[in-house]
Structure 1
Amino acid sequence: MLSALDHKHTVAPEGYSRWLIPPAALAVHLCIGQAYATSVYKNSFIAHFDSSQTSIGIIFSIAIVMLGLSAAVCGTWVERNGPRKAMFVSACFWAAGFLVSALGIGTGQLWLVYLGYGVLGGIGLGIGYISPVSTLIKWFPDRPGLATGLAIMGFGGGALIASPASRQLLSYYDSGYNPNVSTSVADGHALVLLFLTLGIGYFLIMMFGVANIRVPAPGWRPAGWDPSAVAAKPMVTTASVSAANAIRSRSFWLLWIVLFCNVTAGIGILEQASPMIQDFFRSNGTSAVAVAAAGGFVGVLSLFNMAGRFAWSSTSDVIGRKPIYMVYLGVGMILYLLLATIGDSAIPLFVLLAGVILSFYGGGFATVPAYLRDLFGTYQVGAIHGRLLTAWSAAGVAGPLIVNGFLDAQGKPGTLTSSAYQPALLTMVGVLAVGFIANLLIRPVPPALHEPAATGAAVPEEAAA
């Protein structure tokens, strides 16, 4: 049965519609996107384990670190073995992470949650994240930004499903939990059942993607597409660059800095999203009803995150990758400054500012595979993408540490106000400024790092190692 996962069994037959591939990719990304909904039960974890915000935030950080490391280490393996086997392995690790974490919650052992959701789940995140991306680029060489946006918007939208579902499940498993109040905490029994439910449910959904993913046959091209058309675009190469040579180029490391800065700035809001809006409006006279109504803030941010991944990455097909990153980072600096200074004046303004920031965060993720394709070609783009995601690992540590470090110094959860967030938000302005400068310095890869024409053409993209 496992032979069905082999690469040779995933090659699409003649006439296969490429529009059947995005739903398969979405099945995986919507599941692993649950990582963005961890703030829903963050306060419950703090109460259950009697821990600080920083020690609970480490769970998310470990998962993101393992995402980047597993993507970097397994990138060539994914290219060599194809997306079906990679997506199956991802599903196994992702589900196992929830099950081990449930054991840790039930026994009161936080280190088991670090191992489960953090390490095992993080490996599932990394392999699952990159497995459909390079496949989509190969199916959509004419619209790489749109293609990667279709899949990666699922990762951003995962919390849109996971957040309300987790709240309702917790209220079902614990009658004392109020899903409409972010400060409400669920007991340990409810948390165990939640993680068991999510682990089993996500595994079954991801199997849909495993069963339906396909790769294009060698030499396949979209009808009417002329590959020579890309030669006329600046910052777009028709050459091939190996993963080994890519990391020797200055452009790779500048793009690493760009992604790190964009992710660090966005991830702090996501990791703290659920209690953040409550804290911002606790002391300025906003009615408790209005604040409770804003309890769906995580879901709203997920909408912006998801929409940004599709809309901004599709826009990059028109205006280019470098200009779109100037928007993400430059306008992002302005929005963070406004959020820190006037964000607490009205709930709609706060949600709008945070939402647009998160749309840039999501757009940066969805655009970067196409940026890599432009700079390094399609030869080993999946493996290069995996190596670049180590920037996400670093940002997964930096972002939560910056925010939680400031918040722990300001007071305990449930007692904070908007002023407690100002130092962290202003720090993010400086982080984005560094990324903006790095993006300006990116240039085409020198020809000396290109593969010989015969090598790039002779080695199938799916088998590049």
Structure 2
Amino acid sequence: MSLKVWVWEFMRSERGGLLARNRTIAPVDYQRWLIPPCALAIHLCIGMAYGFSVFWLPLSRAIGVTNPIVCQNLTLLQAMTTTTCDWRVSDLTWTYSLFFVVLGVSAAVWGGWLERVGPRKAGVVAACCWAGGMAIGAVGVSIHQLWLLWLGAGLIGGIGLGIGYISPVSTLIKWFPDKRGMATGMAIMGFGGGALVGSPLADLLMKHFAGAAGVGVWQTMLVLAAIYLVAMLAGAFGYRVPPANWTPSGWTAPPRAAMSTGTYVDLKDAHRTPQFWLIWTILLLNVSASIGIIGIASPMVQEIFAGRLISQPDLTFLQFDDVQKAAAAAVGAGFVGLISLFNIGGRFFWASISDRLGRKSTYGIMLALGAALYGTIAPWSAGNAVLPVFVLSFAFIASMYGGGFATVPAYLADTFGTRFVGAIHGRLLTAWSVAGVLGPLIVTTMRDARVAEGAPRASIYPPIFLVLAGLLVLGFVANIFVRPVAARLRVDTPDLASSDSVSADVSAQGVAITPRRSGLAVLLAWAAVGLPLLWGLWTTATKASALFATW
């Protein structure tokens, strides 16, 4: 059998073999708290996509090592194959763009396949793509071929991102029908936290491997690829799906959850409903309103508050000398660290709150509060140079940016049922791909126009804040119009916890079973993912402390 045929059969096959879905059906007394650490193991690895910027500056001097070898008038096409000129940061950031465009596309394309074959096979494929893509990218760095870095880390790695991102969604929702928001919030929190672990680890590794002959990037990428492969495979093989008709012990579905149990919307119909496109629009506007401004958070706070960041309030940003620029940049890095912490915490907080308030109400609060902060508090605090208020307003905005990602899978499950929620979520993530272009385009275009006009740096951003507030207002309006799906589109066949048919001997038969005692296993599983995350949080909090020193 040729490699091409084998890969096709592997991807297509739903039964037989260690990775088949029917091999992942758990016994009725399985301890469900073993599942979230598996999801976190995968999300903490692929979340390093957010932290890839740690490589840009070292790679911009990969040939020169100490000083970049700059070639004038180098085109992007020439940069792809040059072996004599160092890459520009603008060339390298295309990898970052590829990550999130391919993430959305691959999640949409392979979401239905994931539902058929189950989370274990999807997790293994995601691990091979993400770690393998990073290894190919490392080869590209070692021979100084930018196109190979884009192909490996950007394209192949991006496919791993998309499949890995959605792999735990439907599984967690089915294991935690009583805590959907909290369960998906835990996993997606890991995606936000991946950079907090990966970036400082990459920095330590680059310092170890760097020397007179190189900056240590390709060696670091290979080590990370090996670590991520092991961690993601461990997570994938730990996945289990609940047996048919399984429910948590003592839990019954609340009456208000019309689409939570019993019925679902078929995958082929979901994207034809206004509900899908309304939620797609909500995610698009929520992400667009935050991703662009978060991307320039460090220069923004430096340009607005300038000398106040370094106890010299009379200095403007353009008057900084090299020493003052370095001091202000350290504070800017602290600001980025703080909003990263709120981005992660918001994923768990808002998703958990949605279990009590409902998904529609939670989104309404996030969108309204975000619009109010952008439209009033942020411009006022920037105009009056009130740094603590400005920082806290953006911390809350970042929490709602992360909260939107974490709450949307449960919103989809409430709206369309759980049967195809992973595939529907994958299609919805195309909104993220569009927002990844739209949000930065709005912010950078308006910023560059104001700079070209000669506007003072401190006055550049308030008009941008008002436009972003308008995006969130539109999202709030779209959220109002979300209604239950029409009855004619609902399939009345029971929305079983396990979407494939299972035999009676592995079915819970509608009976809630007390889970087996697995305290040590649960503790070890959580320690495996929790300790690296705590280390990353501590490292980031330490950097963020530089910001508080200015208050």
Q: Deviation string for 1:355-381 (max 9, x for gaps)?
A: 211110111111111111111111211
Q: How far 1:308 moved relative to its partner?
A: 0.7
**Where do residues 320-339 of structure 1 align in structure 2 (5 Å cutoff)?**
320-337=358-375, 338-339=377-378
- Tell me, what secondary structure is at the counterpart of 1:351? helix
Give yes or no for contact 1:281–1:417 (8 Å, CA) kept in 2. Answer: no
Query: What is the alpha-carbon distance in structure 1 between the residues aligned to residue 388 and residue 127 of structure 2?
Result: 38
2:223 matches 1:197: yes
Distance 2:388 2:203 in 1: 23
Bigger-Rg structure (1/2) = 2
Query: Which residue of 2 is the match for residue 307 of structure 1?
Result: 345
What's 2:381 paired with?
Answer: 342
Contact 1:144 1:370 in 2 (8 A): yes
Is 1:431 the counterpart of 2:455? The answer is no
Deviation of residue 162 (structure 1)?
Answer: 2.1
Paired letter, 1:267:
I
Q: Secondary structure at the match of 2:100?
A: helix
Cα distance, 1:207 vs. partner?
1.9
- Matched residue SS, 2:171: helix
Which residue in the other structure is 2:182 paired with? Answer: 146
Other-structure match for 1:165: 201
Instruction: Find the aligned partners of 1:66 and 1:421 in 2 and give their Cα distance.
Output: 30
* Residues in 1 aligned to 2:417 and 2:236: alpha-carbon distance in whole angstroms: 26
RMSD: 3.1
Task: Kindly provide the amino acid, as one letter, of the partner of residue 92 in structure 1.
Answer: C
Matches within 5 A, 1:200-211: 200-211=226-237
Shift of 1:102: 2.4
Residue 31 of structure 1: CA displacement? 1.0
Asked if structure 1 preserves the Cα contact closer than 8 Å seen for 2:166 and 2:422, the reply is yes
Q: What are the Cα deviations for residues 8-42 of structure 1, in whole angstroms up to 9, with x where unaligned? A: 22111232110111111100011111122234444
Work out whether residues 309 and 328 of structure 2, in 8 Å CA contact, stay in contact via their aligned partners in 1.
no
SS in 2 for 1:373: helix
Partner secondary structure for residue 173 of structure 2: helix
The aligned amino acid for 1:428 is L
Structure 1 residues without counterparts, runs of 5 or longer: 177-186
In the other structure, the counterpart of 2:102 is 66
C-alpha deviation, 1:111, in angstroms:
2.9
Q: Which residue of 1 aligns with 2:30?
A: 16
Q: Output one character per residue of 1:215-270: Cα deviation in whole Å (capped at 9) or x when no partner.
A: 1112211111113x2x3358867521011111111011010000011111222244
| Pick aligned residue for 1:449 from 485, 489, 504 | 489
Q: Aligned residue pairs: how many?
A: 446
> What SS does structure 2 have at the residue aligned with 1:354?
helix
- Cα 1:133–1:264 change in 2 (3 A) is same
Asked if 1:253 is matched to 2:277, the reply is: yes
CA gap 1:104/1:278 in 2 versus in 1, 3 angstroms = farther
Task: Indicate conservation of the 8 Å contact 2:28/2:246, yes or no.
Answer: no
What residue number does 2:423 align with? 383
Is 1:35–2:35 an aligned residue pair? no
Question: CA 1:27–1:150 in structure 2 vs 1: closer, same or farther (change >3 Å)?
Answer: same
Q: Which piece of structure 1 moves more, 396-405 or 287-296?
A: 287-296
Match of 1:181 in 2: none
Q: Does 1:51 align with 2:75?
A: no
8 A contact 1:235–1:443 mirrored in 2: no
Q: Provide closer, same or farther for how the CA distance between residues 298 and 121 of structure 1 changes in structure 2, counting only shifts above 3 A.
A: farther
Q: How does 1:69-148 map to 2 (within 5 A)?
A: 69-148=105-184
- C-alpha distance 100-280 of structure 1, shift in aligned 2 (>3 A): farther
What residue number does 2:291 align with? 267
Cα-to-partner distance string for 1:303-338 (whole Å, 9 max, x where unaligned): 211111111111011111111111221111222343
Q: Residues 341 and 172 (structure 1 numbering): CA distance in 2 closer, same or farther, change over 3 Å? A: farther
CA distance in 2, matches of 1:409, 1:103: 39
SS state of the match for residue 461, structure 1?
coil
Name the TM-score, length of structure 2 as normaliser: 0.74
SS state at 1:150 partner: helix
For the Cα contact (< 8 Å) 2:104–2:429, is it kept in 1? yes
Other-structure match for 1:179: none
- Identity, % of aligned pairs? 48
> 1:445 offset after TM fit, Å?
0.7
Query: Tell me, which stretches of 5 or more residues in structure 2 are unaligned?
Result: 1-9, 11-15, 63-85, 312-323, 503-551
- 1:214 — aligned with what? 240
Question: Does the C-alpha gap of structure 1 residues 268 and 57 become closer, same or farther in structure 2, counting only changes over 3 Å?
Answer: farther
TM-score scaled to structure 1, two decimals?
A: 0.86
- Name the counterpart of 2:268: 244
Contact 2:47 2:190 in 1 (8 A): yes
Asked if the contact 1:236–1:444 (Cα under 8 Å) also holds between the matched residues in 2, the reply is no
- State the Cα distance separating 1:417 from its structure 2 match: 4.9
The one-letter code sitting in structure 1 at the alignment partner of 2:22 is: K
Once the two structures are overlaid, the 10-residue window that deviates more, 358-367 or 160-169, is 160-169
Instruction: State which of 302, 316, 325 in structure 1 corresponds to 2:354.
Output: 316
Distance 1:327-1:38 versus aligned 2 partners, 3 A rule: farther
2:398 match: 358
Distance 1:165 1:458 in 2: 42
Amino acid at match of 2:352: S
Could you tell me how far 1:197 is from its partner in structure 2? 2.6
Match of 1:183 in 2: none
CA deviation after TM superposition for structure 1 residue 80, in Å: 0.8
Tell me the residue number matched to 2:256.
Answer: 232
For the pair 1:156 / 2:170, whether they are aligned, the reply is no
d(CA) in 2 for partners of 1:217, 1:440? 36
Distance verdict in 2 for CA 1:346–1:190, change over 3 Å: farther
